[in-house]
Structure 1
Amino acid sequence: MFQILELKKTVNFLKHAVPVSIMSVILVIASIATLATKGINWGLDFTGGTVVEMEFSQAADLTALREQLVAPEVEGAVVQNFGTSRDVIIRLPVKEDFKSDVQVRATQAAAAIVDANVETKRVEFVGPQVGAELAEQGGLAVLVALICILMYVSFRFEWRLAMGSVAALAHDVILTLGIFSLFQLEFDLTVLAGVLTVVGYSLNDTIVVFDRIRENFLKIRKSGPSEIVNTSITQTMSRTIITTGTTLIVVVALFMKGGAMIHGFATALLMGIVVGTYSSIYVASYLAVRLGVSREHMLPVEVEKEGADQDALMP
C-alpha cells in the first residue's frame, strides 16, 4: 500500500518553510499571550468542587435538569451522562457563600422535580488544594515528558534533530493549550490525557521522518541537507497520510458522537493531530536544517581498538 501511494518525484516541502515557520511563531506568541491574559478554564478536577452521581428511573432529560439547576448555590453546574442514559453525574463548583451539603440538597431537589424516583448513588468532594496539586503535577508531567524525549532523541539521533523534535512538541502543546484558553474550553483530566497523547503522537511522526533522514544522509552523498530532508519527507508522506487520515476518522467520530464526557479529550486530539502533522515538517525538520545538520553528524563514531597502532607498524 505504501508503494502505491509513494510519490514518484521529490516534493520541495522546505520551499514554503519560511512563511509557515513565521506563521507558527506568530501562533505560538498569540497562544502564550492568550494563556497569560485569559488563562485556562480549569475543570473541577483542578479547581475542586462536589460530584453528585444520580440514577434516574428512566432515561434522564439532561436539558430539563439543567433548567432546574438555576439556584445560586448550584450555578455553573456541569450535567453529563455517566454510563447509561439513566445515570447522571453533576459537578458543582466551589461556592464561598454555600457549603457542600447545601449544594447537594439543592441538586437533589432539582433532580426530584425532573424525576420523583431519582436516587443519589454517590457524593464526593474534591478540595481546591487537591485540585491545585493535580494542576501542578499535570504541568510537571508534560515538562518531564519533553525532557525525556530530548534525552531519547539526542541519544538515538543527534542533538540538532533532538532540538527540532522538542521544539515541535512544545509548539504542538502550546497551540493546543492556546485554543483551550481562547475559547475557554473546560480543561480537566481527560484533556490533560489528550495533551499527553498528542505529545506521543507527534513524537512518533517526527521519529519516522528523522529515521528516514538519517538513512538518506548515509545513502545519498551528493545532495545537500535540504534536498535530503525533502526526499525523506516525500518518502514518508504516504505513511503520514494513511496514519493521520485513519486517526482523524476515529477522532472526528469521537468529537461528533462521543458525548460531553470525552468532548475535551477529542478536541485536544483533533487539534494536536492537525498541528503535529505539519510541525514534523516545518518545525522539527526545518529547525534541524537551520541548525546545520549534515552527513558528518549522522556517521557512527569510530572506536579505535587497543593495540591498533602497534598492528599498523608491524610488517
Structure 2
Amino acid sequence: MKTYHIRFYENRWIYYCISLAVVLVGLICNVIFGTRLDIQFTGGAVLSYSYSGEIETQKVERAVESSLGRDASVSVNKNVRSAESGQVSNNVTISLAGTNSITPADQTAVLKALNKAYPNEKFESLKMDSVNPSMGQSFFLKCIVAVLIAFLLLNLYIAARFRKIGGMAAGFFAIFALLHDVAMVYFTFIIFRMPLDDNFIAVVLTILGYSLNDTIVIYDRIRENRRLMGPKTPYRVLVNTSINQTFTRSINTAICTFLAIATVFVVGSVYQLNSVV
C-alpha cells in the first residue's frame, strides 16, 4: 500500500481556515435565507396531478406559488403505471409546507394555474394528502438521542482504549471532530439552499459512521507508532506519519463509496426511480 508524505501538522492552519470559511459562509446564508425545513418536519399538504407531455419544475413552482402565495416544492415522476387502470402517465407532486390547510378552492386554483401555464398538457387532479409534522419531528428527536448516546459511549471507549495517548482528552477531541463534520454537512445544505429532510438525516448518520471509523483507525495508528518510534518522538512527526499511513485506506474507502452511490444514481436516473435519486 502506497504511503504518502503530506505535512498535515505543518499545514493545519490551512485546514482550519477552510473549515472556518465554510462555517462563516454558512452562518451568513443561515441569517439571510434561514433554514429550510422539509414538509416532514413542518407539516403541510401534498398535491398530486397527472399530465401529458413535458413540463419544467421551476415553471410549475412559479405557477403554484403565484396562485397560492406560498412556497412550493415540485417533483416529477415520468412514465408511472397506475395500479388501478394499468395506464402509463406522468405525475407531478407538489409539496406545500406549513400549518395552513389546503381548501378545495386552493386545489382548484392550483389546477387552473397549471392548465394556464401548460394549456396542452391536460393536468388532472389525482389526490391530496396531509402531512403530520409530529412523525418527522419524533424521528428527528430519536436520531439526536441516538447520536448523543453514541457520543457518550465513544468517549468512554476512547478513554479506555487509548488512555496512553490522551484518554478522556482524546475522546473529547474525537467528539469535537464528529461535531465538526456534522456542521460541515449542515452548512453545505444551508449554502446550497437544500431543505433539511430525511436525506439530511441519512447523510449526517453516514458521515458520522465514516468519520468515527477514520478517527478510531488514526488513533490506533498513533498509539502503535508511539510504541514503535518511542515516547520521545516529536508530536508533529507522530501525527504526520500516522495520518499518512492511513491516508490510502481512507481514499480507497471514499472511492468505493462514491462508486456505489454513482451506480445507484445512474440506475435511478435511467429508470426514473425518484426515490433513490
TM-score by length of 1: 0.65
Letter in 2 for 1:201: Y
1:184 to 182, 193, 197: 193
CA distance in 1, matches of 2:273, 2:194: 13
How far the C-alpha of 1:177 sits from its partner, in A, is 1.3
Task: Report if aligned partners of 2:67, 2:113 keep a CA contact under 8 Å in 1.
Answer: no
1:90 to 80, 83, 94: 94
Task: Report if aligned partners of 1:46, 1:134 keep a CA contact under 8 Å in 2.
Answer: no
Task: Report if aligned partners of 2:8, 2:240 keep a CA contact under 8 Å in 1.
Answer: yes
Letter in 2 for 1:21: Y
User: Is the aligned partner of 1:52 residue 2:47?
Assistant: yes
1:193-232 equivalences under 5 Å are 193-221=202-230, 223-232=233-242
Query: What stretches of structure 2 of length at least 5 have no aligned partner?
Result: 81-89
Task: Report if aligned partners of 2:114, 2:123 keep a CA contact under 8 Å in 1.
Answer: no
Query: What stretches of structure 1 of length at least 5 have no aligned partner?
Result: 267-315
CA distance in 2, matches of 1:252, 1:214: 36
Tell me the equivalent position of 2:122.
116
Q: Deviations over 1:96-136 (max 9, x none)?
A: 4x63444334344455655437461x432124555555554
CA distance in 2, matches of 1:114, 1:261: 26
How far the C-alpha of 1:145 sits from its partner, in A, is 4.1
Task: Report if aligned partners of 1:54, 1:88 keep a CA contact under 8 Å in 2.
Answer: yes
Tell me the equivalent position of 2:158.
153
User: Is the aligned partner of 1:69 residue 2:64?
Assistant: yes
List structure 1 segments (4+ residues) > 6 angstroms apart after TM superposition. 252-263
CA distance in 1, matches of 2:250, 2:174: 16
Structure showing greater Rg: 1
CA distance in 2, matches of 1:131, 1:175: 22
Tell me the equivalent position of 2:248.
238
Q: Return closer, same or farther for 1:39/1:258 CA change in 2, 3 Å cut-off.
A: farther
CA distance in 1, matches of 2:113, 2:12: 57
Most deviating of 160-169 and 132-141: 132-141
Identity of aligned residues (%): 26
Q: Secondary structure at the match of 1:186?
A: coil
CA distance in 2, matches of 1:226, 1:124: 58
Q: Secondary structure at the match of 1:89?
A: strand
Letter in 1 for 2:109: A
Most deviating of 16-25 and 104-113: 104-113
Most deviating of 85-94 and 128-137: 128-137
CA distance in 1, matches of 2:218, 2:207: 17
Q: Secondary structure at the match of 2:11?
A: helix
TM-score by length of 2: 0.72
Task: Report if aligned partners of 1:60, 1:87 keep a CA contact under 8 Å in 2.
Answer: no
How far the C-alpha of 1:49 sits from its partner, in A, is 0.9
Tell me the equivalent position of 2:12.
17
**Number of aligned pairs?**
257
Q: Secondary structure at the match of 1:123?
A: strand
Tell me the equivalent position of 1:104.
107
CA distance in 1, matches of 2:19, 2:207: 17
Q: Deviations over 1:160-210 (max 9, x none)?
A: 332222111111111221232234322111122112211112222222222
Q: Return closer, same or farther for 1:154/1:27 CA change in 2, 3 Å cut-off.
A: farther
Task: Report if aligned partners of 1:69, 1:107 keep a CA contact under 8 Å in 2.
Answer: yes
How far the C-alpha of 1:218 sits from its partner, in A, is 2.3
Letter in 2 for 1:6: T
1:243-262 equivalences under 5 Å are 243-249=253-259
Q: Secondary structure at the match of 1:170?
A: helix
Task: Report if aligned partners of 2:53, 2:121 keep a CA contact under 8 Å in 1.
Answer: no
Name the structure where helix makes up a greater proportion of residues.
1
